[in-house]
Structure 1
Amino acid sequence: MTALPRGWHAIGWTLSTFLISAVGGFIANSFGIPAGWLMGGALGVSVAAMVGLPVMLPRWVRDTAFVMVGLSMGATVPSDTLSLISHWPVTLIAMVIELVLIVTITGWILARFFKLDPGTAYLSSFPGHLSFIMGIASAGVGDARQIAMIQVIRILILTICVPIGALFLPPVTEMVTAGPVHTVPVITLLVLAAACAAIGLVFVRLRIPAGFVLGSMAISTSAKLAGLFEGALPQPLVVVTLIMVGALIGSRFAGITRAEFVRAAFGGIVATLATVGIVTIIAYAASLIVDMPLAQIWLGLSPGALEGMGALGVALGYDTAFIGAHHVIRLLLLSFAIPAVVLWIRRRETRQPRA
C-alpha cells in the first residue's frame, strides 16, 4: 500500500478532496435531491478515488467530522422525543430479527454464489462495526481487502439510495421541530462543540465503537433535552458537516484499483440489495404497529454507518434521537455477535481439513 503524503502534499490532497465533495454536493443539491450535499459529495469523491485522483482525509479531519455529526444529531432532537420511547421496544425487537436475517442470508449468498470463504462471506455481511471487522480480518479471518470493498460499497449504496428513496415517500413536515428558528449563539456553540469533542475523546479512550460520534451525540442530546440550549445550528455549519461526511465516505475508496473494485462490486451490490430488502420488509412490518413514518423507521433500522445515517436524519428532518439510539444498540449487539460468528468460522475451518 502506498504511504500517505505528508506536509504540503497532504494539505493539497485534503483540500482537493473537500473541493470535490463540495462540488458534487452542490450539483446534487441544485437538482433538489434530499441530502444532496451528502449524497453528491460521497459520489463525487468515490468516483475521483476510482479514477486515481489524489483523495485523502487526515485522521484529525475524520474525527472532526464525527464530532460535528454527533453535535448535529443532538441539536436537532425534538423536545418531545422522549414521548416516543414507549414505541421503541417494537422497533428494537424488529432490529434484532433483522440483524439475524441479514447476517444469515447475505453470508450464505456470498459463500454459495460468489464462492467466498466463510470468513470473508460472513464478515462482509455484518451491517456495521467496520473497524472491528477489519481488525479481525487483518488477524487472519477472511480476505481483508474483499471485506473492505464489500462493506464500503454497502455504505456508499445506502447513502446514495436513501435520499433518492425519500423522493417517493410521504412528506415529513410533522416530524420537523417546530421550536425556535433562531440559531444557537456562537459562544454556546463553541462551548458545546468543545464538550462534544472532550466526551468523544473519552469514549474513544474507553474503546467505545464510533466514540467521537456517540460521545458528541450523547452530550449534545443531553444538553438539548435538559434545556441548556435552544435553536438550530447555523445552516452553513450543517452544510459543511454534510460535505465532510460525503468526503469521508468517498475517500474510503482510495487505493482500490478498478480491477479489484469490479471483482468485489457485484457481490457487494447483490448483498446490499438483499440487505435492503430485509430492512424494508422489517421496517414496513414495524410501521404497521408503531405510529412513525416508514422512512424514519427505515433509517433507524438501516445497516448504514452511524455518521452517514445520522447525517441523513439531520438533512431529512427525522427524529435523530430515535435513529441514533437504534444505531447505538445495533453496534452493541454486533459487539457480541461478531466474535461469536468468528468463533464459529474458526471451528468450522479447523474441522474442514479433517474431512
Structure 2
Amino acid sequence: MSLPPFKSLLSLAITVLIAAAGGALATLLGLPAGWLMGAALAVTIAAMAGVPVDIPDWLRNVIFVLIGMSMGASVAPDSLSLLSSWPISLIALAIELVIIVAATGWMLTRIFGLDAGTAYLSSFPGHLSFVMGIAATGVGNARQIVIIQVIRILMLTIAVPLGATFLPIDHLEVVAATRFLGPFELILLALGCVAAGLLFNLLRVPAGMVLGAMAAATAAKLGGLYTADMPPPLVLITFVLTGAMIGARFVGISRAEFFAAAKGGLIATAMTVGIVTVMALGVTQLVDMPFGQVWLGLSPGALEGMGALGIALGYDTAFIAAHHVIRLLMLSFAIPAVVLIIRMQERLAAQQGHN
C-alpha cells in the first residue's frame, strides 16, 4: 500500500492544526463545547479563505468510529428506564419534520425564487448524502443545496452550545469521570465498533459507521463488559477532528457561491431552529428531561455533530442517537415522496405550457 502524497499529508496537518488552534481559542474564551465549535468555525473560515484544508475519507471513518465509541461510552445506565417518555418526543419529531420542510421549502421558493427541487431538497433537515445523491440525478441545483445544508450544520454546531449557556434553561453539568479505559480495553472496544460499523454499512443503515460503533459500545457498556469512560485526551481529539470535518465541507465552495446562497441558508436555518425550539419547549412540558437534551434529540443537525455536542454538554446520548436514527428513517421515506410530487408538478406545468 503506497503512502499518501506529501500534499495530502500537508493539507491534513494544516487542517488539524487550524482546528486545534480554533478549539483552543474557543475553550480559552470559555465557550461551551469549545473544542468542537471552535474547530468547526476555524476550519470553515480557512476553507472559505482558500487554505488547502482536507479531511480524507479514511480519517472520516476513523472520526465516525470515535464519535460512536464516545457516544456509547457516555450512555447513562438508566437510559432504558426513560423509554416510556420517548413516544411524546418522537411524535413531536414527526410533526416538526413536516413543518420544517413545508415552511422552509415554501420560503426558499417564494422569497428567494429557487426552483422547487432546490428549495425542498435544501429544506430537508439531514440525510445530506441521500439528498445530494438525488440532486446528482438532476433534481435542483446541487451546489446551492450543499451550501444551504452545510450552513445549517455549521450554524447548529455553533448555536447549540451558545444557547445552552446563555438561554435561561436547565442543562446538565458534565459528570466528572473517575475511571478511564486503558489501552487494551480501548483496542478491543475499537475493534468491536469498527466491525459493527462495517456491518451497518453493508446493511445500508444511514450513518452506518457512527451508529454501528455506538451500538457496539452501548451494548458492551449496558452488558457490563466495561464501566469506565473514554480518556479525556481521546474525547478532545474526537471533538477537534469532528469540528475539522464539519468545516472542511466548505472546500470547493467559492465565496461568490457562498454569499449567493448564504442569506437563504441562514434564514432557513433560523426558521428550523425556531420550529425545533418551540417543539422542544412543548415536549419538556410533558416529560421530565432537560430542555437541551430534548432539543438535541429533535435537532436537524448531523448525527455526528449533535452526538458530539451531547457528550460535551453532558446529555443522554442514547436518547439523542435514537431520535436521530428515527429522523433519518423518516427522511428516507419523505425525501423520495417529496421529489416524486415535485416531478409530477413539473410534468403538469410542462403539459399546461404546451397546451
Of residues 48, 51, 55 in structure 1, which corresponds to 2:49? 51
Is 1:7 matched with 2:5? yes
Alignment check: 8 A CA contact 1:124 1:147 kept: yes
The aligned amino acid for 2:342 is: I
Of residues 183, 188, 206 in structure 1, which corresponds to 2:185? 188
Alignment check: 8 A CA contact 1:183 1:233 kept: yes
Q: What is aligned with 1:352?
A: 349
**Aligned partners of 1:14, 1:204: CA distance in 2, in Å?**
25
Alignment check: 8 A CA contact 1:184 1:231 kept: yes
Q: What is aligned with 1:311?
A: 308
1:239-250 pair list within 5 angstroms: 239-250=236-247
Match of 2:166, SS? coil
Deviation, structure 1 residue 185: 2.2
Q: What is aligned with 2:222?
A: 225
Deviation, structure 1 residue 351: 1.0
Deviation, structure 1 residue 172: 3.5
1:1-355 pair list within 5 angstroms: 7-169=5-167, 170=169, 172-173=171-172, 176=174, 181-355=178-352
Deviation, structure 1 residue 176: 4.7
1:107-134 Cα shifts (integer Å, max 9, x gaps): 0000010000000000000000000000
**Aligned partners of 1:190, 1:255: CA distance in 2, in Å?**
36
Structure 1 gaps, min length 5: 1-5
Alignment check: 8 A CA contact 1:76 1:177 kept: no
1:144-193 Cα shifts (integer Å, max 9, x gaps): 000000000000000000011111244534x7558x62101221111001
Alignment check: 8 A CA contact 1:78 1:177 kept: no
1:282-305 Cα shifts (integer Å, max 9, x gaps): 000000000001111000000000
Alignment check: 8 A CA contact 1:28 1:40 kept: yes
Alignment check: 8 A CA contact 1:24 1:40 kept: yes
The aligned amino acid for 1:248 is: M
Match of 1:252, SS? helix
Deviation, structure 1 residue 84: 0.6
CA RMSD of superposed structures (Å)? 1.1
The aligned amino acid for 1:240 is: I
**Aligned partners of 1:332, 1:158: CA distance in 2, in Å?**
21
Alignment check: 8 A CA contact 1:287 1:293 kept: yes
**Aligned partners of 2:171, 2:283: CA distance in 1, in Å?**
18
1:16-74 Cα shifts (integer Å, max 9, x gaps): 11110000000001111111000000000000000100011110001100110010000
Deviation, structure 1 residue 207: 1.6
**Aligned partners of 1:245, 1:351: CA distance in 2, in Å?**
44
Alignment check: 8 A CA contact 1:65 1:245 kept: yes
1:197-227 Cα shifts (integer Å, max 9, x gaps): 1110111122211110010011111111111
Moved more, 339-348 or 304-313: 339-348
**Aligned partners of 1:232, 1:202: CA distance in 2, in Å?**
25
Alignment check: 8 A CA contact 1:103 1:126 kept: yes
**Aligned partners of 1:320, 1:211: CA distance in 2, in Å?**
16
Alignment check: 8 A CA contact 1:98 1:279 kept: yes
TM-score of the aligned structures, taking structure 2 as reference length: 0.96
Deviation, structure 1 residue 246: 0.3
Q: What is aligned with 1:3?
A: none
Q: Percent identity?
A: 59
TM-score of the aligned structures, taking structure 1 as reference length: 0.96
Alignment check: 8 A CA contact 1:119 1:342 kept: yes
